[in-house]
Each structure stands twice: as structure tokens, then as C-alpha cells.
Amino acid sequence: MKTTRRVSQLAFLALTLMGVYVFGANCERWCPFGGVEALYEYISRGTMVCSLGISNFYTLAGVLVMTLLLRRAFCGYICPIGTISEWLNIGARRLGAKTIDVPLRLDQALSLLKYVVMVVIVVLTWRLGELIFRGFDPCYALISRHGTDITYWAYVVSGAIVIASFVLTMPFCRWFCPLAAVLNPVSRFGLTRVKRYSGQCIDCGGCSKACPMAIPVDQVDQVIQSRCISCLKCVDSCPDSEALIWGPPRSLGRRWSKIVLVSIMLACVSTAVGASYLFPVPSYVKVSGREPEEVASLQLKLTNLRCRGRANLLFYFLERDDLYRIPSYFKLEAWPGPGVADIRVSYDPSKADNQLIKKSITEPYFDPSYGWRESPFAIEGHNILDLPEVNSGK
């Protein structure tokens, strides 16, 4: 199992780094904690916090299902911070450094800090509508393209985690990670667990020493602690293969193959990623006016619609007060992102048409407060000079 887990960690870390540095992907859009940060904004206003997308919700759902089945396996096999922190500790021990054993009571007290971190981040994000944690996020600092949106505090936090990982086992994951605080209540009801059979156990204590999350495995019949990351180091360290086994509750069977763990994990990840592409829910929804009985819609592809701020600007152009104003009612649904972004505009066909929608998007607008404002948007496949004039009396 040790080799299987290392391969899994390496594969997911390599995939993350390639996505960011080779393909220029936005890692924030696949962070499950982003789904927690964006939830209130999307439910209350129909918009996403900048840099996040609907993919965050799918990823969060996939990780929650994984946690219900495998406890916090995401932390032990997929999370890049967990992988880097654990590998640093392993490397330090191989070089002769000693890992500090934190007393159980102190470990339990420190574990409460992640709930404080989670509450602070979520409340501030929901109130301000911005990714407050980004300025301190070690994951964003370590695996992003290091733009101007990263503050020096993110590097300070990252450096502290790196240094602490040399002498402590996965300190951020155990004590400070806000996603761990979200997963812990779900993990408590996880299906699979490590089961100890006292008849075969020789009470060597090796399983507890091997556990990176400081769970006293040798003192329980079943490991159902929420902080278990299903790494199965305890199982691998046991000298008797029948004393410690991994599987479902005893009423459902004795042992499951360890390949089941990897299969379930991959199924959850692939389903979440696939769903985000197969069911592309708009990440920006805003309505003007009351919906009429009959509604028509126009789908377009726009350039320069890269974030929520630009989607708000697009809505501003659609709501303009001039010849190209969309009267009565319209609803804007958008999928902001780099490159070409999709939008759908629904409107009252008795008072507007497709040409008016396109003109509204692309024509300059005179704002008494700012003067003339040129539209930053271009409609893919359409030349604005070829669009006919609209009937302002419609």
C-alpha cells in the first residue's frame, strides 16, 4: 500500500503542477474549499467570488462523497500541501532529523485551531465577497504562477509550514487546514475504517507510532476518528496481517482490498471533473425586470469576459439607458473565464431581438458620470460593423 499511495500522491501533485505551469490552468477553480467560500455568494446573489467557478462546487461534492466512504483520504492522497509536508518530514528523518512527538492533549487542543481558521475565512469571504484567504494561502503560494495577488504573508505562511514539516508530521493538515475543518464532521461517519483484532494484536504500539495524525490505534477496536486520512500506515506497520485490517464496518464484512480505496478515490475525482464539463451551470446569473410569459434566448461567445467583475460590466452594458437598452426584462447567464467565454441572454421577444442584444453588448455607451465607455467585449464570429441598425421603437 505504501507504494500505491506514493504513486497516487506523485501523480496528483504532478497533474496539479502541470495544469498550473504547463497549461496555465487556474488551480483555485478546482479547490474544494473554494466551493465552501463561494456558496453564500452564489446562493444569495447568483454570482461567484472572483477566480472561482462552478467546478469548485463539483469538486467539493466529490470530496465530500469520498470522505463519506474513505474518511479524509483526500488529505492523504490528493492534497498537494499534505503531500509536500509529509515528504519533507520523511526526507528530514532520512537525513537524521528527529520528529517531535506532540503530547496527545496538546495535539487535540491545537486541532481546534482549524475550526477558528475556517470560520474566520468563511465569514470574511461571505461578507466582503473576495477571497480573503488568498493572501495567506500556502497552497496558492506554492502552486500558482506567483502573480501580484499573492502577498508576502502567503510566503511567510508557506515557509513556516515547510520549516515545521521538518520536525512535525503534517502540522498544517492536523491543526490549521480550513478544509480539514469542513471534512471532519463528514469523516466522522465514514464507511471504511481500520479494525483491530485484539486476539491477534501483540500490543507493540507500532501502529500508533506510524500514524501521521497521532491516532492511538493500539487503544481502539476501530479507527473511526474523523482525522483519519486512510493512509493505512498503521496496517503496513503491523507485524501480523490479521491484527489490523482495513474495510467496512464489521457487520458488512471483514476485509476489503486496498485497491478498493484507490478505485473509489479515482471514481469520485473523475466524476466531479466530468460533471463540471457535462453539466456547465452558469457561474454568473443576474436578472433585470420581471420575466414575461414568453421568453427568447440568445447564446453567444465573448472575449474578455474573464471574471465576475467583467460580467458585472457586461450586465451594465445590457442595462444601459440609450438607443440600445434592452427594455422590460432580460436575464444574463455567463460562464466567465480566460479566452472565449459563453453567455446566454434571455429577453422578451415582443420588445427586443437578437440584433439589439448584440448591439447592446458591443456599442459604446455614454455614461454621464464617466463619459463615453467603449465596450471591451467582442462577439466571436460577428463583426460589429456588419450588424444592422436596430429599431429603437421596438
Q: Per residue in 101-145, pLDDT tens? A: 899 899 999 999 999 999 999 999 988 888 878 778 888 777 765
The phi and psi torsions of 144 (rounded to 5 degrees) equal -125, 180
Give the C-alpha separation, 151 to 153, whole Å: 5
Instruction: Identify the band that residue 147 occupies on the pLDDT scale cut at 50, 70 and 90.
Output: low
Residue whose C-alpha is closest to residue 392's, from 370, 371, 363: 363
Quick one: how far is CA 141 from the chain centroid? 15
Q: Is the pLDDT of residue 392 over 70?
A: no
Q: Is the pLDDT of residue 394 over 50?
A: no
Residue whose C-alpha is closest to residue 140's, from 128, 153, 126: 153
Residue 203 to residues 206, 219, 237, 239, 243, Cα–Cα distance (Å): 8, 9, 12, 11, 10
Answer for the pair 290, 331: CB distance below 8 angstroms, yes or no: no
- Containing 249, the helix (H) or strand (E) segment is none
The long-range contacts involving 249-256, CB below 8 angstroms and separated by at least 24 positions, are: 249/191, 249/193, 249/222, 250/195, 250/222, 254/195, 256/192
Q: Is the pLDDT of residue 24 over 80?
A: no
Instruction: Identify the band that residue 386 occupies on the pLDDT scale cut at 50, 70 and 90.
Output: low
Whole-structure pTM value: 0.88
pLDDT at 183: 97
CA atoms within 13 A on the CB side of 50: 16
Residues whose CB is less than 8 angstroms from the CB of residue 33 and which lie 6 or more positions away in sequence, other chains included: 60, 178, 179, 182
Residues whose CB is less than 8 angstroms from the CB of residue 175 and which lie 6 or more positions away in sequence, other chains included: 110, 111, 113, 114
**Range ranked top by mean pLDDT from 67-71, 143-147, 361-365:** 67-71
Q: Tell me whether strands 193-196 and 222-223 are parallel, antiparallel or unpaired.
A: antiparallel
365 compared with 394, residue with greater pLDDT: 365
Residue whose C-alpha is closest to residue 198's, from 242, 251, 246, 232: 242
Query: What average pLDDT does this structure show over 221-234?
Result: 94
Residue whose C-alpha is closest to residue 51's, from 65, 61, 41: 41
Residue 231 three-state SS: coil
Answer for the pair 171, 161: CB distance below 8 angstroms, yes or no: yes
pLDDT at 351: 93
Instruction: Identify the band that residue 393 occupies on the pLDDT scale cut at 50, 70 and 90.
Output: very low
pLDDT tens, residue by residue, 268-304: 999 999 999 999 899 999 999 999 999 999 999 999 9
Q: Is the pLDDT of residue 198 over 60?
A: yes
